[in-house]
Every structure is written in C-alpha cells, then in structure tokens.
Amino acid sequence: MAEASRWHRGGASKHKLHYRKEVEITTTLQELLLYFIFLINLCILTFGMVNPHMYYLNKVMSSLFLDTSVPGEERTNFKSIRSITDFWKFMEGPLLEGLYWDSWYNNQQLYNLKNSSRIYYENILLGVPRVRQLKVRNNTCKVYSSFQSLMSECYGKYTSANEDLSNFGLQINTEWRYSTSNTNSPWHWGFLGVYRNGGYIFTLSKSKSETKNKFIDLRLNSWITRGTRVIFIDFSLYNANVNLFCIIRLVAEFPATGGILTSWQFYSVKLLRYVSYYDYFIASCEITFCIFLFVFTTQEVKKIKEFKSAYFKSIWNWLELLLLLLCFVAVSFNTYCNVQIFLLLGELLESTEQYSDFYFLACWHIYYNNIIAITIFFAWIKNMFLAIINDTYSEVKADYSIGRRPDFELGKMIKQSYKNVLEKFRLKKARKDEDKKTKGSGDLAEQARREGFDENEIQKAEQMKKWKERLEKKYYSTEIQDDYQPVTQEEFRELFLYAVELEKELHYINLKLNEVMRKVSAL
C-alpha cells in the first residue's frame, strides 16, 4: 500500500535532486490518495451490510420471546426461568403464543396464510420450529463412599465424552431417540460448555393445538430428566418489507448444580443480497475491493523480491502482510457465504413442513461481518501511523540527506529566544555586526557560573548543544550514497526526541524571559 518515502544522497546536481524530490512527493501523494480511496471503499462495504431495520427487528423479536410473561405471573418470562416448572410454563405460554399468529387482532383472517404463521402480521415463520435436547449419562461422576447410601446416581457436566446416546422414556418418537446431526452448523458455545449438534430432537406442528398437546405430553412423561444439560429452541423468520431474515435461538442450560441458565441469539441478516440498486452498488464496491487487493498484493510481492529478508525486519511491513491476510480471509468468507446461500436457500424455503436450518448461513454471515470489521480497524491503524508519520519524517530526513537543512520555524524561534536570554543576563553582548564571532561554549559556561547560574541548567544546555551537533553531523552530510534507504525506527526516534527536547527548551526559556520581564518591570 502507501510505501515509505525514499531519497537519494549525493553527487547529482541541485536541479536533478530537486526534480527527484518533486517526483517522490508526487508519488507519495498519489499512493496516499489511492489508499484513501481504498479506505472509503472498505467503509462502504462495512457499513453497507447493516441497516437500522436489523436492530429494530431484533428488538421486537427479543421483546416478544424474552420479555413476555406467563399469564398471571408477571415475573416469569424466558429471562427469569430458574426451574423445570418455569421452563414448561414458558413453553406452553409465551413461546406458544408468540409462534402462532393465525388471525388478525379482531379474530378475522384478512389474508391467505398458506399454512404459515405471520408473527406480528409481517414476519413469516419459515418451516417449523425445532426443539433439541442434549443429555449426559449416569455415573459420569463419582459419589463419595459415605454418601452412596443416600445417592447412587451421579450426572456430571456436559462433554462430548459424557454425552448420553441411548434411547430413553417412551422410545417411540424422535424426541425419545438420539439422532445424529445432518447439518453443518457450528457447535454452540454456551455458559457451561461447548455443545455439539444432534441429540433428542422434535419439531413443532403447524397447528397450535397440536403443539400444545405435544408440550403437555412431554411434560407428563418427564422428557426433561436429571441428565438433561441443555435444550435449544430454533426457528427462523423472514420479513419481506425490509428483506431480512431473523434467525432465533433460545438456549436453556441445566448445570450439574441444579437450576437453569438461559441465553439467546437473534441474528438479523440479509441473505438475499442483490435486489435493489443500492445492492448492486455494494456489489461494485466488492469488485473494486478485489482489484485493490490484487494491486496491493503485487506491490508487496515486488518489495519482498527487492529487499528479501530485510523486508521482514520492519514492523510496518508485518502490518501490511496482516492487512492483506485479513482482506483475503474476508473475500474467502464472503465468497463461501454467497455460494452456500445460492446452493441451500431454495432447498430451505421449499421444506415448509420441516425445520429450516438457516442458523448455518447466519453464522457464516456473522463471521464475515466480524472479519471485515477487524480488517477496517487495522486499515485505519496503518493509515494513521504508516502513511502519515513514516512518510512525514522520511521527508525530514531527506532534506538533511541532500545537504539542505529543513526550515524549522520552531528551531529559529528557540535560537532567537536563547540569544535574547543571554543578552538580558549580560552573558552575551548584543550583535551589532552580523559577521562578528560569538564566544565559545566553554567561555559562556564559565561566565554563566560566575554570574550565579545553576550548575544543572548549565550542564543541560551543554548536553543539548552536544546532542544537536551529533544529529547535525549525522544528517547534515554531503557524503555520496547511491542507494535508496527508508527511515529506520531508531532514526525516527532520535528526530522525535530531539523535537521534544527543543520544545522543552523553548518552554524553559519562556519562563526565564517572563522572570526577567517581571524584574525589569519592578525597576
């Protein structure tokens, strides 16, 4: 991306050096402009994937399924579930009422539902919801011998090794028989463990009454046991008004300590990407991003071939490589997500009588959003520190290297103020002739001691002078060097510390001037 400025020392004519200087500045400005366009394009991609409707859709759905209380019990909702009794009350109350909207608020059916629920009259329930349980086996932990007479069973925490794979209960339907996973969804990371796919699964009916009878039957036959460690409730919605899918997962974890811990996930994502003119504009930005990525990769490959192992000694080059890696990962995630949507979306929408697993697509969409957010963070870090600071101080060193000292207004101010202070304290006579030689630093130091100056101040002034002479000797040089060299971190540090010391000296001199002026005013 924007490369550090380079310069040439030595034996060329002033005209050629000036021309080369203009070319380098022009090249640097072009690279900064190119990188700025890249940042704008990356910002459009990042913020173009989200819109306020995502927040509002998540908000209304979370309010419906998390905050709605059980009738007659205002404090019992999904967030407040603490026992198995509370869990079944939620299943037979707020969950059932929230999933099935089969008529208008005045009990009139104003449109053809086509055997599907319309949550809040605008959000189509895709397929049917799914409930899934994971259990652990008995004797997955050891009861102390003194308590074996009181408790012979022991159910440990959930791990894949402790998971119960055997049938239980009535053993007649899928909810009583263990089913292996046939999806590519990632494992769920909960409060108490990482839960894999599969388990004891059943799907809800299209009929509200049948679903309620199902819940009652499971409750009466103790579907939740001491070995139960987690229950997932998964379903997906689609809102055509804003072209958003909302994938919802409610999780109830049953720790070995007893009680229930609840958590939830609401993912509002735009799976149908290219619909409006704005969507096609985002698509053009994605193509532009790939072009930038190709150009920047080519630049870095050329630099590696040119500098070889020296390339990897700079932290900024490592930042370049990290940024390129993140860009490639973002492109890979986006490509994979779009391919999976193209392959799976039609199939998922056709299975209206089965559970539609949009959770897999939503997860990959979230992964892409996260990686593009990390990419833009490092892109701005690189822009602020590499493209601005390094280029700026490269130009400062370039001025020294071609035999021309940069015109530091701050340095002139400090020098003039220093001379005025010496004249006020009569350590130096006012210059009447511009060609008159000044006294040596040693004479000034001795005179300052005779006048009663503090020894620390004198030593600090001498140290400052030596430091200045050393930097001038190093950078104000006419030696001929034909190679191009970037600014090193150590050189940048020395220049920066020198500027800091000059600023401190200016502050100190101003204080002395104010003190002298007060004494003069008192006379």
Asked whether 372 and 45 are in contact (CB, 8 A), the reply is yes
Mean pLDDT by 10 residues, the chain (523 residues): 39 52 67 85 87 92 92 82 93 91 71 71 90 92 81 88 90 88 83 91 90 93 93 94 94 93 94 86 92 91 88 85 92 90 82 84 89 90 63 49 44 55 53 46 62 67 68 54 53 69 76 76 69
C-alpha distances in Å from residue 243, one per residue of 274, 275, 361: 11, 9, 15
pLDDT in tens, 103-154: 777 777 655 555 678 888 889 899 899 999 999 999 888 888 778 778 888 8
> What local confidence, expressed as pLDDT, does residue 129 receive?
93
Radius of gyration of the chain (CA): 37
> What local confidence, expressed as pLDDT, does residue 47 receive?
86
Structural tokens at position 44: 């459009």
Q: Output the CA torsion 441→446→452→454 (10° steps).
A: 60
Judged on CB neighbours under 10 Å (0-12, 13-18, 19+), 410 is exposed
> What local confidence, expressed as pLDDT, does residue 454 receive?
67
> What local confidence, expressed as pLDDT, does residue 111 receive?
58
Structural tokens at position 358: 């949009």
Encoded amino acid at 28, one letter:
T
pLDDT in tens, 342-389: 888 887 877 778 888 889 888 888 899 899 989 999 888 877 765 555
Structural tokens at position 431: 């210059």
Structural tokens at position 328: 């490639």
* Exposure of 335 in the CB half-sphere (CA atoms within 13 A): 8
**If you count them, how many residues does the chain have?**
523
> What local confidence, expressed as pLDDT, does residue 324 receive?
92
Asked whether 94 and 69 are in contact (CB, 8 A), the reply is yes
329-334-337 Cα angle (round to 5): 120
Structural tokens at position 432: 């009447």
Q: Output the CA torsion 31→37→42→46 (10° steps).
A: 150
> What local confidence, expressed as pLDDT, does residue 19 receive?
56
Q: Which of 49, 53, 58 is nearest to 375 (CA)?
A: 49
Asked whether 187 and 360 are in contact (CB, 8 A), the reply is no
Q: State in Å, rounded, how far the first CA of the chain is from the last one.
A: 63
DSSP percent split of the chain into helix, strand, coil, nearest 5: 55, 10, 35
> What local confidence, expressed as pLDDT, does residue 262 receive?
95
> What local confidence, expressed as pLDDT, does residue 306 receive?
86
| Relative orientation angle of helices 315-350 and 277-307, to the nearest 10 degrees | 150
Which stretch of DSSP H or E encloses residue 262?
A: strand 261-269
Cα separation, 39 vs 388, in Å, equals: 14
Long-range residue pairs from 16-21, CB within 8 A, at least 24 positions apart, any chain: 17/402, 21/398, 21/402
Structural tokens at position 478: 């006419």
Cα separation, 46 vs 33, in Å, equals: 20
Asked whether 224 and 260 are in contact (CB, 8 A), the reply is no
Structural tokens at position 248: 């919802």
> What local confidence, expressed as pLDDT, does residue 113 receive?
57
**Helix boundaries (H) for 148-251:** 208-220
